[in-house]
Structure 1
Amino acid sequence: MRHPIRTLAPLAAALVAGLTLTGCGAVEPMPEVTQGARPGAPATEAPPASRAPATQAPAVAAASGVSVGGSGTACALPVSFAVAEKWKPKAIKNPEDPEFAALTHQGPAVIRCEVDAKPAGNIGFLRVWTAAGTGPARAALEGFVKAEKGVSKAVYKETAAGGALRVTEVTYTVYNDLMEESKEERAFAVATPKKGTVIVHLGGLDSEEHQEMLPAYELARTTLKVL
């Protein structure tokens, strides 16, 4: 862990900024003079413009050999996926209990399972939600995102998942009142034939934690199977 007390980060940054010295007016060196081309010599061809680096595939975490969703796993789900090394899955008990609806319901979805990243050294969870109904996965995902407080910059796209599956994915930011900053979140959703839509969501304490946990999220997406 790089930040046992994350809330001190803004204060530390301000102190560093306040102690930074301004420039002392050092004399700049004379510009380097280069010899021109000889008369009659062919003009030197300008080097080609540098190309932008090719988009790399997202990193995928090493699988622990544990999966969730199938028979005998920690969470009974309409889908299954591989769990990253050291991440710990746990089923949510009594998610339908109305007494805890504020914690277990978000828009049309009910939480069923969470995979804890703390044993792997991060603060956050990969959470699995289900939404009843036979509508498209995007509709359920949009309702899920809109129900979260402080959401902005939501971008939806269709993307590949395990095998030939296609899922709807969203990336967005959420303003964190405690940290007084916005943080990244994302989720993907897939419709199942008989048990509604499944939403797999990755949050995190802040955007740095979120980025560090992305390989586990990608592992879940790329190994996803509808049961």
Structure 2
Amino acid sequence: MRHGVRTGLTVGVALTALLATGCSGSDGDAEAKPAYDTKTKTQRIGTAGSVCALPVTFDLPADWKSDNVSAEVQQLTTVGLAEMSCELDARHGGTTGFIRVFTDQSRSSTPRFALERFVSESKLQKRKNVEYRDTKAGPYEAVEVSYEGHNETWGAQQKETHLAFKSPKGLLVFDIDALDPIDHDALLPELDRIKDTLKGV
């Protein structure tokens, strides 16, 4: 169910980006534009009374479908102390993949510890390029991990990305789940949209 490595800029691409910004010594760097399309019509996920009521809310494209998770599915998908609470389906938006939201109500877990459990319990074999990064999710300090490995069931290489942070109402983990690395990479901008638009409730 669960289961990325962001491709780093090559020297050539980095040099091109540097030349594009110029070297005029202006007051500051140009403001970075988000990777996601800001003109996309969106919906608010996580609101009280919605299918996926969560301790946070955030934006996703309006054509994505959200669904809560049954107790039976939670038992099968629990990672450490994190239980799947919501499934966000990107297939109606043209990408074969999901972003799944896990919640951990324990007081002892930290974002880094939760992500380490996701990596260690991953079904991917020969995991490599495991990279942890500090980031922000709305107002919260967060940690993100990406890696890749071999999916023996499908006989193919697969990417994984997970984001974790602690809100006043519990720890959350967002998991990109896509079998095809191309679909996985297509979902990364939407994870950025979540981070940029996320608010506590």
- TM-score normalized by structure 2? 0.76
Is this contact kept in 2: 1:61–1:216, CA < 8 A?
no
Q: Percent identity?
A: 31
- Residue-by-residue CA offset, 1:45-95 (whole Å, 9 max, x unaligned): xxxx9962338765124453311112132201111111124111111122x
Once the two structures are overlaid, the 10-residue window that deviates more, 117-126 or 151-160, is: 151-160
Tell me which residue corresponds to 1:69.
46
Tell me which residue corresponds to 2:115.
141
Tell me which residue corresponds to 2:152.
177
Tell me how far 1:170 sits from its aligned partner: 0.7
Separation in 1, partners of 2:144, 2:67: 23
Q: Name the one with the larger strand percent.
A: 2
Name the Cα RMSD after superposition.
2.4
The answer to whether 1:60 aligns with 2:36 is: yes
Separation in 1, partners of 2:113, 2:89: 27
Classify 1:167/1:122 alpha carbon distance in 2 versus 1 (closer, same or farther; 3 Å): same
Separation in 2, partners of 1:53, 1:221: 27
Separation in 2, partners of 1:133, 1:51: 42
Separation in 2, partners of 1:117, 1:78: 22
Classify 1:100/1:201 alpha carbon distance in 2 versus 1 (closer, same or farther; 3 Å): closer
Separation in 2, partners of 1:111, 1:50: 38
Classify 1:75/1:143 alpha carbon distance in 2 versus 1 (closer, same or farther; 3 Å): same
Separation in 1, partners of 2:129, 2:195: 22
1:78 maps to amino acid = P
Corresponding residue SS for 1:123: coil
Classify 1:50/1:216 alpha carbon distance in 2 versus 1 (closer, same or farther; 3 Å): closer
Tell me which residue corresponds to 1:87.
64
Classify 1:223/1:181 alpha carbon distance in 2 versus 1 (closer, same or farther; 3 Å): same
Separation in 2, partners of 1:50, 1:188: 26
Tell me which residue corresponds to 1:20.
none
Separation in 2, partners of 1:51, 1:197: 35
Unpaired runs of 5+ residues, structure 1, are 1-48
The answer to whether 1:191 aligns with 2:183 is: no
Is this contact kept in 1: 2:81–2:104, CA < 8 A?
yes
The answer to whether 1:110 aligns with 2:110 is: no
Count of residues in correspondence between the two structures: 173
Tell me how far 1:126 sits from its aligned partner: 0.6
Larger radius of gyration: 1
Separation in 2, partners of 1:51, 1:218: 21
Classify 1:197/1:100 alpha carbon distance in 2 versus 1 (closer, same or farther; 3 Å): closer
Which of these residues, 105, 122, 139, is aligned with residue 132 of structure 1?
A: 105
- TM-score normalized by structure 1? 0.68
Tell me how far 1:100 sits from its aligned partner: 6.1
Corresponding residue SS for 1:154: strand
The answer to whether 1:78 aligns with 2:55 is: yes
2:134 maps to amino acid = E
Once the two structures are overlaid, the 10-residue window that deviates more, 112-121 or 55-64, is: 55-64
Tell me which residue corresponds to 2:128.
152
Unpaired runs of 5+ residues, structure 2, are 1-11, 19-31
